[in-house]
Structure 1
Amino acid sequence: MKLFQRLLVAPAALGLMAPMAANADITSVSNESEVIEARVDGVEAQLEEIQAGAFSSTTTLSGKAAFVTGYVDDDTETDSDKVTMNYMYQLNMNSSFTGDDLLYTRLKAGNFTKNGRFVDKGNGSFLSAGKDGGGEIKVDKIWYQFPVGDNLQVWIGPAIENYYMLASAPSIYKPVTKQFALGGNASTYGSSTSAGLGAAWTQSVDDPSDGRFAVSVNYTGKEGDTDATKGLFDGDSKSFLLTKIEYGTPQWQVSAALANKPNGSTYDGYYHTSAGKTYSKDLTSIGLRAYWKPETSGSIPQVQLGYDMASVDDAVAGEPDEMTAWMVGLGWTDLFVDGNRAGVAFGSRQAATSYNGAGSDPAEDNTVWEAYYTFKVNDGVTITPAVFGGSDVEADGKDVNGAVVLTEFKF
């Protein structure tokens, strides 16, 4: 029994002993001991029931805080290269009720200006550590997942994104800007928080280093939690069906994913040029991913490749009917100093390559890039200087350059 439980039980036991000592009918010390022990056991059982109902001992809490100091210059008169400092704060709660399941809840807050320079999805400066909301902390993600048998994992939740409902991540590159997340944050994987559900099957292998297949299918509906006129499964809602097939080992993986998005939408959850997201009909997107990492850390980098191609069914005249995006990411672990890491990525944000009728995307030939080096101060603190930029981004084909120093505290 835990110490604090015994401290609670002791006064109760003494209270029980007093009247029994005065009871003349009890003639045996051994009988008194048996009665005391039985009554103490009863008090302990009641205390354990109360404690079990108060809080689950299987809930763990972790989190991180990020300080971001930097600037963005995007070639416009309304934006400047003034240096700013912002923060992001995140708490992760993991609860299990069977030992194999998980109730995940994420609380998050940040004081980045909404649609501001470090949370701008249009120009490539949206940071992975960016979070707007005026500092208000709220539930940012919440879902429940559980196994079915040995090979199937199931998710369901009112606030989740599709890439959480996969057998494994499509990318191993750790980005500074979100445009390089998921092997390229384009129309295949890119999403926004929605209500949804999904399942993933993973092949069993005798040796963990052997290759194995996995298949993931999930569905999210943007209006599934708020819009009473459309709902989660309504044909007019901003639904998103994603299927991923993968094969690989812990060292490498190749995968293909198919995304279906009906009814046209800007789908603000993914990152591309303005012309590359304006369509009114059904969109189908294919995402190809591959990665490899060396057996030892050091000078040889991990390699991440990504390519997305999307088409719009019966595109309206003057709207794009085909779009593409690609990226290459290189990552080094334990570079120069154990615990430090570095990354370099470059590519092209999703842009329209073909229009129904006249039209072209000024950002069709856009290029974007980032580079960073992370210093590990200790197990809980890292400092990451990073630079990033792009040319011909967004619909007006402007150039963007920026630099940040990211300080993260993990606990």
Structure 2
Amino acid sequence: MSGFLHNSLLIAPILLVVSLVNAQGASAIPADMQTTQSPAKEGVVAQTDNQAVLTAPIGVSSSDQSQQFNDRSSKNLNSVMSQVTSVSQLSDVQPTDWAFQALQSLVERYGCIAGYPNGSFQGNRAMTRYEFAAGLNACLNRVNELIATSTADLVTKEDLETLRKLQEEFADGLVEIRGRIDGLEARNANLENQQFSTTTKLNAEIIFSVGSVFGGDRALDSDRWRRIEAAPAGTARETARANEYTASGGRRLQDNAIFSDRIRLNLISSFTGKDQLFTRLEANNTTAFSGAVTGTNMTRVSWDGNNDNNIVLGKLYYRFPVGDKINVIVDAIGGEFYDNFNTVNPLLSSTPIGSLSRFGRFSPIYRASNTGSASNTGSGVSAIFKLSNAITLSGGYLARRANDPSAGAGLFDGSYGALAQLAFQPNQNLTFALSYAHSYFTGGNNDVSVSGAYGSAFANTPFGAGVATSANHYGIETSYRFNPQLVLSGWVGYSQAIAEVSFGANVNRGDKANIWNWAVTLALPDLGKKGNLGGLIFGQPPKVTSNDFGPAVLTATSNLREDSDISFHLEGLYRYQVNNNISITPGLIVIFNPEQNSNNDTIYTGVVRTTFRF
């Protein structure tokens, strides 16, 4: 027997052990890898509430790659292999490969190794136990054939004796390995029998928050301040002020500290590896810092929405690709444009780990439909079309109460929002988007919300809460990553609201109101530690700059629903990443001139958000 064959036989048991272990590992990969992650929005290092995970709507996610790997493996197993007589016939095998000599011996000396029809060996591909068994059987058959034909120069009695000794020497090890593999197979079978689903993955997001507002008095709108200032100075004016505060819900801020929570359980299913069925169960008891608490929506945090911790179906959608360039999202309930499209504020748009305030997440244009998770609103369809590697066109339609068949409701007869966006991303650092949205609100069921419920009261309902209103919204959004530790983003938005009906003496059909907002955000990822985030947000919440609302003859005390001054939003936050699953984010939100009126006291919102994600 040649020295090479002897050496090969010496390492044969070791190669057998490694092959069996690799085969077992390969068989465990697909089940774990085929879970589909929540899609993310296009943009720079994008984050979303749904734990998107891709940074663009069209592309190959980790789950897609896993599926493609499994598909390739299945095709390879089913392919007819072609016999080769020389290792040089295998196109992907080089003399420098570590197993070249072993492979050369098996091909040229024993003739028991075949290649794939395309002339490759694919030596780096994971091997299944079936493939190993087939290869081993082919080589053993070849050895038996050589023995039967008395090919003494290839296999001698000495070779067989050496093989017998090696089998005896490694017998205990092989028995131990067999026992381990049997144990792993039993555990794997038990997991498969007890797992929740072969197609569904569960993840959760829990927010604990402690917060409070503080400052002076609650905010009043500009019409109330005009009536106060029209009263004679002194006692009469103080009486007028007291009356306006009483009528609006009280003078002092409700500044008691609160502890609250929001819980989301997400079931993410995939049936093809490229699609996604998303189901969310949600509970929340976080009181909004607005209305009777502060007198303004400007002080709200991003996760508020008190339903007394009752569990509700928060969101249900199905996302699937059409070809290689289009992704379609069908929202059954809980649809939101800001979850479906790129909001161009990559590091601060996510509720659990981004901005603390409602205003600081993204432009109000993405709330044009006035729908949201856990509100039993928001049904429709959205699509994302990848025109090129740098340009994406997005569009969608969401009805507020699509499940209501009554007049002024339903899929097409009630309140709705439609949005179109053209996003440019010429490189990984820069994103620029142009957005347009159209809204229609019937005026019933508190549907009117022109500015996303975080500007002034007039910006949200420019003609009153019960007046049918439409609006055209225009937005420019941009984000630039100067380096991995500095991302600057911002937006400018303009809305023109239109009264769709006449109402009383103050509203005529066709009346218009002009509304502006803007913001600049600064994100500092990995500040102080990898995974941490520092953030600064400064901007002007939506403000009504002009409005046709009002009587034909104006007086000093006439209601105009027009803001007098400018509010400024300033927010600072620091997210400390405790580990992969827990983060703690303290922060402060400061509103100067709340409700766009300088007579109001500055209001502060202090909050600590702790997020658990698993």
Same fold (TM over 0.5): yes
Quick one: structure 1 residues 189 and 370, their matched pair in 2 at CA, closer, same or farther if it must change by over 3 Å?
A: farther
Partner amino acid for 1:191? N
Residues 124-159 of structure 1 deviation map (CA, whole Å, 9 limit, x = unaligned): 222223231101121111110100000001111221
CA apart distance, 1:203: 2.8
Partner amino acid for 1:216? S
Question: How many residues matched?
Answer: 353
2:537 aligned to which of 338, 345, 351: 345
- What is the match of residue 134 of structure 2? none
Quick one: structure 1 residues 356 and 313, their matched pair in 2 at CA, closer, same or farther if it must change by over 3 Å?
A: same
Q: Secondary structure at the match of 2:412?
A: coil
- What is the match of residue 431 of structure 2? 253
- What is the match of residue 52 of structure 2? none
Q: Which has the larger radius of gyration?
A: 2
Quick one: structure 1 residues 354 and 264, their matched pair in 2 at CA, closer, same or farther if it must change by over 3 Å?
A: farther
Tell me if 1:200 matches 2:398. no
Tell me if 1:400 matches 2:603. yes
Tell me if 1:307 matches 2:481. no
Tell me if 1:286 matches 2:470. no
2:563 aligned to which of 346, 362, 367: 362
1:164 aligned to which of 335, 339, 351: 339
Contact persistence 1:117–1:126 (CA under 8 A) = no
Quick one: structure 1 residues 118 and 196, their matched pair in 2 at CA, closer, same or farther if it must change by over 3 Å?
A: farther
CA apart distance, 1:281: 3.7
Contact persistence 1:262–1:282 (CA under 8 A) = yes
1:72 aligned to which of 206, 213, 222: 213
Residues 314-360 of structure 1 deviation map (CA, whole Å, 9 limit, x = unaligned): 68656652110111110001112222111010111111111116636
Contact persistence 2:289–2:299 (CA under 8 A) = no
Tell me if 1:101 matches 2:275. yes
CA apart distance, 1:379: 1.3
| Structure 2 unaligned residues grouped into runs of 5+ | 1-23, 29-188, 219-250, 349-353, 373-377, 551-559
Partner amino acid for 2:449? Y
2:458 aligned to which of 252, 270, 275: 275
Partner amino acid for 2:437? A
Quick one: structure 1 residues 356 and 293, their matched pair in 2 at CA, closer, same or farther if it must change by over 3 Å?
A: same
CA distance in 2, matches of 1:365, 1:186: 20
Partner amino acid for 1:62? N
CA distance in 1, matches of 2:564, 2:577: 37
Quick one: structure 1 residues 136 and 115, their matched pair in 2 at CA, closer, same or farther if it must change by over 3 Å?
A: farther
**Which residues of 2 match residues 10-21 of structure 1 at below 5 A?**
none
Q: RMSD of aligned C-alpha atoms?
A: 3.0
Partner amino acid for 1:66? I
CA apart distance, 1:170: 2.8
Q: Secondary structure at the match of 1:192?
A: coil
CA distance in 1, matches of 2:285, 2:293: 11
Partner amino acid for 1:90? R
Give the TM-score normalised by the residue count of structure 1: 0.77
- Higher share of residues assigned helix: 2
CA distance in 1, matches of 2:546, 2:417: 23
CA apart distance, 1:55: 5.7
2:364 aligned to which of 185, 200, 221: 185
Quick one: structure 1 residues 394 and 227, their matched pair in 2 at CA, closer, same or farther if it must change by over 3 Å?
A: farther
Residues 174-206 of structure 1 deviation map (CA, whole Å, 9 limit, x = unaligned): 311111122x3357657323111111101343x
| Structure 1 unaligned residues grouped into runs of 5+ | 4-47, 206-211
CA apart distance, 1:287: 1.2
CA distance in 2, matches of 1:344, 1:353: 26
Residues 39-83 of structure 1 deviation map (CA, whole Å, 9 limit, x = unaligned): xxxxxxxxx9xx89x964121111121111121136233533222
CA distance in 2, matches of 1:126, 1:118: 12
Name the % identity. Answer: 21
Partner amino acid for 2:207? A
Contact persistence 2:480–2:489 (CA under 8 A) = yes
Give the TM-score normalised by the residue count of structure 2: 0.53
Residues 184-243 of structure 1 deviation map (CA, whole Å, 9 limit, x = unaligned): 3357657323111111101343xxxxxx111111001112123532344434x1111111
CA distance in 1, matches of 2:310, 2:330: 26
Quick one: structure 1 residues 329 and 224, their matched pair in 2 at CA, closer, same or farther if it must change by over 3 Å?
A: same
Quick one: structure 1 residues 124 and 263, their matched pair in 2 at CA, closer, same or farther if it must change by over 3 Å?
A: closer
Tell which deviates more after alignment, 352-361 or 240-249: 352-361
Quick one: structure 1 residues 108 and 364, their matched pair in 2 at CA, closer, same or farther if it must change by over 3 Å?
A: farther
Contact persistence 1:363–1:393 (CA under 8 A) = no
Contact persistence 1:114–1:133 (CA under 8 A) = no
